[in-house]
């Protein structure tokens, strides 16, 4: 698709593949290609789940520091919105998204992993938000998504110190969901993605939107978001199929309609 980011679809699973040797440093071009890949995967009705993958050796070691070092305040004030929008495009994919993490997922790489619904890490993976060691802070969602995922105290520990955590600690604090041998990361991510392939796509999108948007607001507003999503699903063929199949004691066949 692009020079550094590609989209491959097989068995209704799209793999968004980062490929900028050697460390998948997320420069401006890569950020824009990532957003376009997210839009393609989201819009394709043949895609039922998405995997973010940087390869066997590294997920993404962070932003392109050389590119950032040359930017002024005015430059970054203009670019920071583009940066966040690119990552938000990944977070807003209306399908289950799994980050398959080998090697480093640092800085922008960790922030990209935070945009996924689930994170599968290899035993040798290293995650963290080391921006503070450069005199800056995370700017692609790290301060917000990390604190929502693992809680403010643990997020402050990682962000204030900039320290790296290994896979075992990442699992213990809830930063990743599963740890497997390094060679099994991508197969494990595909196995997880396959669980959603035959699911009710409209209901999965509604559930994801209700959870994610609900976390952005107060409980009463979140409940209203849930109520509207819940009610709307009764207009879908999948809901009718699911309810009928239950009554008839058979497995439902969902069509995503």
Query: Is position 257 within any domain?
Result: no
Query: Is position 252 within any domain?
Result: no
Query: Is position 18 within any domain?
Result: yes
Query: Is position 256 within any domain?
Result: no
What does the pLDDT read at residue 79? 86
Same structural domain, 220 and 137:
no
Query: Is position 255 within any domain?
Result: no
Query: Is position 23 within any domain?
Result: yes
Report the C-alpha gap between 234 and 242 in whole angstroms. 10
What does the pLDDT read at residue 15? 98
Other CB atoms closer than 10 Å to residue 101's CB: what's the count? 34
- pTM given for the model: 0.94
Same structural domain, 158 and 220:
no
Same structural domain, 175 and 205:
no
The HSE-up count of residue 63 (CA atoms within 13 Å, CB side) is 30
Same structural domain, 88 and 21:
yes
Last residue of one domain, picked from the residues 166, 194, 222 = 194
Residue 216 annotated in active site: no
Sequence-separated (6 or more) residues with CB below 8 Å from residue 194: 11, 13, 49
CATH code of the domain containing 128: 3.90.226.10
Query: Is position 146 within any domain?
Result: yes
Check 56, 67, 111, 123 and give the catalytic one. 111
Tens digit of pLDDT for each residue in 58-103?
A: 999 988 888 888 888 998 888 888 899 999 999 999 999 999 999 9
What does the pLDDT read at residue 187? 98
Report the C-alpha gap between 9 and 94 in whole angstroms. 16
What does the pLDDT read at residue 184? 98
Residue 33 annotated in active site: no
Residue range of the domain that includes 150: 5-194
Check 131, 169, 224, 241 and give the catalytic one. 131
**Tens-level pLDDT at each residue, the chain (257 residues):** 789 999 999 999 999 999 999 999 999 999 999 999 999 999 999 999 999 999 999 999 988 888 888 888 998 888 888 899 999 999 999 999 999 999 999 999 999 999 999 999 999 999 999 999 999 999 999 999 999 999 999 999 999 999 999 999 999 999 999 999 999 999 999 999 999 999 999 999 999 999 999 999 999 999 999 999 999 999 999 999 999 999 999 999 999 89
Query: Is position 65 within any domain?
Result: yes
Report the C-alpha gap between 80 and 78 in whole angstroms. 6
Same structural domain, 107 and 209:
no
CATH code of the domain containing 227: 1.10.12.10
Same structural domain, 181 and 234:
no
């Amino acid at each position: 698709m692009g020079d550094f980011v590609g989209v491959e679809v097989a068995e209704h699973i799209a793999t968004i593949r980062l490929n900028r040797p050697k460390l998948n440093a997320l420069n401006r071009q890569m950020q824009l290609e990532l957003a376009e890949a997210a839009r393609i995967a989201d819009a394709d009705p043949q895609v039922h789940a998405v995997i973010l993958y940087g390869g066997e050796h590294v997920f993404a070691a962070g932003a392109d520091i050389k590119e950032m070092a040359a930017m002024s305040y005015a430059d970054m004030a203009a670019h920071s919105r583009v940066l966040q929008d690119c990552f938000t495009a990944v977070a807003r994919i209306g399908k289950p998204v799994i980050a398959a993490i080998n090697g480093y997922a640092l800085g922008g790489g960790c922030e990209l992993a935070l945009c996924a619904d689930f994170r599968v890490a290899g035993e040798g993976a290293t995650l963290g938000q080391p921006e503070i060691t450069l005199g800056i802070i995370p700017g692609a969602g790290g301060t917000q998504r990390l604190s929502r995922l693992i809680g403010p105290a643990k997020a402050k520990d990682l962000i204030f110190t900039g320290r790296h955590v290994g896979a075992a600690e990442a699992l213990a604090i809830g930063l990743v969901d599963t740890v497997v041998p390094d060679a099994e990361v991508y197969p494990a991510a595909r196995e997880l993605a396959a669980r959603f392939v035959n699911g009710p796509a409209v209901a999965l999108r509604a559930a994801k939107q209700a959870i994610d948007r609900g976390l952005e607001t107060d409980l009463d507003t979140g409940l209203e978001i849930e109520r509207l999503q819940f009610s709307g699903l009764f207009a879908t063929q999948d809901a009718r199929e699911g309810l009928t199949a239950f009554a008839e004691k058979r497995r439902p066949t969902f069509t995503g309609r």
